Structure 1
Amino acid sequence: MNEMTKAPASKSQSPLSIFDRPLGEPLGWLRTEIDRLFDDFGRPTRSVFNFGQRGLAPVPALDMVDDEKAYRLTAELPGLAEKDIDISVADGVLRISGEKKEETERKEKGFLFSERRYGAFERDVPLPSDVNPDAIKAQFKDGVLTVTLAKDEKAAAHTRKITVEKA
């Protein structure tokens, strides 16, 4: 029999396996937890909204399309309702913010299961100089926010070509 067959099989560790360790190894568990914390730091999440989970604050992705008369900005905000979203404009910046509050409570076989998830986001978008801030409209349907940013026709008239002279 060779030495390879005598080696003990490795045992995967679960969070409860800390109680199986000898008393001389409490710092090993702490080091493992600290290493895991640093490994998870900055790791991207799978979903736009991972409320109640570790990681950075959720921020919805935005798309902006330019057509002839307006810009159209869209954001996917799953699980939110119109009342959860706040949109404002000030000093050439459009701010979209929202908050999700979810609470569930269930009783089964003498046990109470209660879960709460909270999360908020805020996103600032600098507006193009030709947007008319008084003509911004927003619609929300099926978890998708669409903000229409009408162009100011007068802003285009204020542009002029500057000739470059030889020095």
Structure 2
Amino acid sequence: MARDNGNAPMLPARRSLFGDMEPITRLRDEVDRLFEDFPVFRFGRSMQMPVPALEMTEAEGAYKVTAELPGIKPEDVEVTVEEGMLCISGEKKEEREEKERGFMLSERSYGAFERRIDLPTGADPSKIKAQFKDGVLKISLPKNEQAQQQKQRIAIEADGR
């Protein structure tokens, strides 16, 4: 064994008091990585629901917000306006049971989400409407009269060559 300037003996690299553990450590790392790649095997870990995708566009008299909420029922979604923000929140609740060849599989999954966006300048919060169909939430944010009248077209001058 190597000695460090006559002090205590140094153990060779890659060895521990229990022998060469590197192959076992690598195997454990690979197994852990395998289980991390498959959400089904994430026992005891909280599985958060992904944040829904939002798209916001501007039309002549209103702003439009679309949120994709697949697998969520309309009664599990809430749209609110608070302190100048539009809030879309909800919860996905899913239960499934399968019986096949003497085996039974029962799964339950729950996940809450919330998205908050600033109300666009000129949106009239008192006239907001929401529709939900086929897992897609569509929200119309009508512009107030003042915002609709503030639009002004600016003339573009061409190069005078």
Asked whether the two chains share a fold, i.e. TM above 0.5, the reply is yes
TM-align CA RMSD: 3.2
- Match among 133, 142, 149 for residue 150 of structure 1: 142
CA displacement at 1:124 relative to structure 2 = 0.7
Q: Which residue is equivalent to 1:20? A: none
Separation of aligned partners in 2, 1:157 and 1:69: 10
1:62-103 C-alpha deviation (Å, 9 max, x unpaired)? 111111211111111111111111111111110111111111
Separation of aligned partners in 2, 1:115 and 1:93: 36
Give the number of the structure whose alpha-carbon radius of gyration is greater.
Answer: 2
- Match among 20, 27, 30 for residue 29 of structure 1: 27
The SS at the match of 1:106 is strand
Give the 3 Å change call, closer, same or farther, for CA 121–137 of structure 1 in structure 2.
Answer: same
**Counterpart residue type for residue 135 of structure 1:** K
1:1-167 equivalences in 2 (<5 Å): 25-33=23-31, 36=33, 57-155=49-147
**Counterpart residue type for residue 24 of structure 2:** P
CA displacement at 1:110 relative to structure 2 = 2.3
Give the 3 Å change call, closer, same or farther, for CA 126–52 of structure 1 in structure 2.
Answer: farther
The SS at the match of 1:71 is strand
Q: Which residue is equivalent to 1:4? A: none
Count the aligned residue pairs: 126
CA displacement at 1:158 relative to structure 2 = 8.4
**Counterpart residue type for residue 54 of structure 2:** L
When normalised by structure 1's length, the TM-score is: 0.63
Separation of aligned partners in 2, 1:131 and 1:97: 20
Q: Among all aligned residue pairs of Structure 1 and Structure 2, give the percentage whose two residues are the same amino acid.
A: 49
1:109-148 C-alpha deviation (Å, 9 max, x unpaired)? 3221111222221111111120111111000011111000
Name stretches of at least 5 consecutive residues in structure 2 with no aligned partner. 1-19, 152-161
Q: Once structures 1 and 2 are overlaid, which stretch shifts more, 51-60 or 130-139?
A: 51-60
Which portions of structure 1, spanning 4 or more consecutive aligned residues, are displaced by more than 6 angstroms? 50-56
